[in-house]
């Protein structure tokens, strides 16, 4: 198991978290992540929530939006203990999935967007922590539709693969708002005005897969192939390396995954 630095997570704190029977990790992002935490706590009876933020290197904006999100979550769930935020991330991990082999991925799948691999990364980075604390569930704000708009990294097929990834390591990935389409329903859960994509950190690559008219032309089959052949196998090998107590060579693992694909021939 990966050793977290003492300043981030002391052994005493780890033992305290392990002793809590109704503890869940929360993926902190924007409005949807807070709504998901509220809904999941209400449905599952969580007494404690451990907020986590995973950085990608592509986000920008005032960090205080994260603090404000936590403040809103605490205000909405006054009887649930909200523990201090833990910040996680690995630039090398993100780069191996989304940056260093763009040309190869384009050649294999005839498309490229960092958004799918980025979401795989965001879920994956939290898996070792969830295991360390007793295989606790992770609450995510992913949802399939956004007022009729489709996000390629949140199509049903992608969400199924994200769940499959965490379940490989015996971790539940909860999508409590997966089937909520309308923004008004999200605001009803929050009981506050908070418009989508507002008052949060922004990604400089947001919308990169859309054409100038706003449409999305990617084939779902391409997305499934990418996840099935590269994204998920690569990440599983990286996580196993972390769980063995070693810091993986992320790029080497990604390169080997691609070489194996090329040698056997990627499925068409």
In the structure encoding, which two tokens stand for residue 258, read together? Answer: 């691609």
**Residue 74 burial class via C-beta count within 10 angstroms: exposed 0-12, middle 13-18, buried 19 and up:** middle
Domains of the chain: 11-264 (3.40.50.620)
- Of all residues in the chain, the percent with pLDDT exceeding 70 is 97
Model pLDDT for residues 54-85, shown as the tens digit of each residue: 999 899 999 999 999 999 999 999 999 999 99
CA distances to 173, 183, 202 from 10, in Å: 25, 39, 31
Task: Write the DSSP assignment of the chain as a string of letters.
Answer: -PPPPTTTS-HHHHHHHHT-TTEEEEE--SHHHHHHHHHHHHHHT-SEEEEEEE--SSEES-THHHHHHHHHHHHH-TTSEEPPPEEE--HHHHHHHHTTTHHHHHHHHS---HHHHHHHHHHHTTHHHHHHTTS--EE----SEETTEE-GGGSHHHHHHHHHHHHHTT--EE-TTTT---HHHHHHHHTS---TT-SS-EETTTTTTB-TTS-B---HHHHHHHIIIIIHHHHHHHHHHHHTT----HHHHHHHHHHHHHHH----
pTM, to two decimals: 0.94
pLDDT tens-digit profile of 83-93? Answer: 999 999 999 99
CB atoms within 10 A of CB 230: 24
The count of other CB atoms within 10 Å of the CB of residue 64 is 10
pLDDT at position 107 over 80 = yes
Report, as an integer, the average pLDDT of 12-34.
97
Query: What are 67's two structure tokens?
Result: 């603090």
Could you give the CA distance from residue 105 to residue 238 in angstroms, rounded to a whole number?
18
Binned at pLDDT 50, 70 and 90, residue 252 comes out as very high
**pLDDT tens string 185-194:** 999 999 987 7
Per-residue model confidence (pLDDT) at position 216: 83
């Amino acid at each position: 198991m990966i050793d977290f630095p003492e300043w981030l997570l002391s052994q005493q704190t780890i033992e305290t978290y392990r002793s809590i029977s109704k503890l869940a990790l929360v993926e902190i992002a924007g409005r949807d992540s807070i709504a998901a935490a509220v809904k999941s706590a209400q449905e599952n009876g969580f007494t404690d929530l451990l907020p986590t933020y995973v950085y990608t290197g592509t986000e920008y904006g005032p960090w205080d939006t994260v603090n404000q999100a936590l403040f809103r979550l605490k205000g909405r769930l006054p009887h649930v203990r909200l523990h201090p935020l833990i910040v996680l991330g690995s630039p090398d991990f993100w780069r191996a999935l989304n940056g260093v082999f763009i040309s190869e991925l384009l050649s294999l799948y005839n498309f490229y967007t960092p958004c799918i691999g980025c979401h795989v990364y965001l879920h994956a980075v939290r898996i070792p922590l969830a295991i360390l604390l007793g295989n606790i569930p992770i609450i995510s704000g992913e949802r399939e539709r956004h007022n009729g708009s489709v996000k390629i990294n949140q199509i049903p097929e992608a969400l199924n693969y994200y769940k499959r990834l965490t379940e490989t390591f015996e971790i539940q990935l909860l999508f409590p708002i997966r089937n909520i389409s309308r923004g008004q329903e999200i605001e009803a859960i929050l009981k506050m005005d908070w418009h989508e994509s507002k008052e949060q950190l922004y990604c400089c690559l947001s919308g990169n897969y859309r054409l100038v008219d706003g449409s999305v032309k990617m084939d779902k089959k391409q997305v499934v192939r990418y996840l099935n052949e590269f994204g998920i196998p690569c990440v599983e090998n990286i996580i196993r390396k972390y769980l063995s107590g070693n810091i993986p060579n992320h790029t080497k693992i990604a390169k080997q995954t691609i070489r194996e694909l090329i040698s056997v021939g990627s499925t068409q």
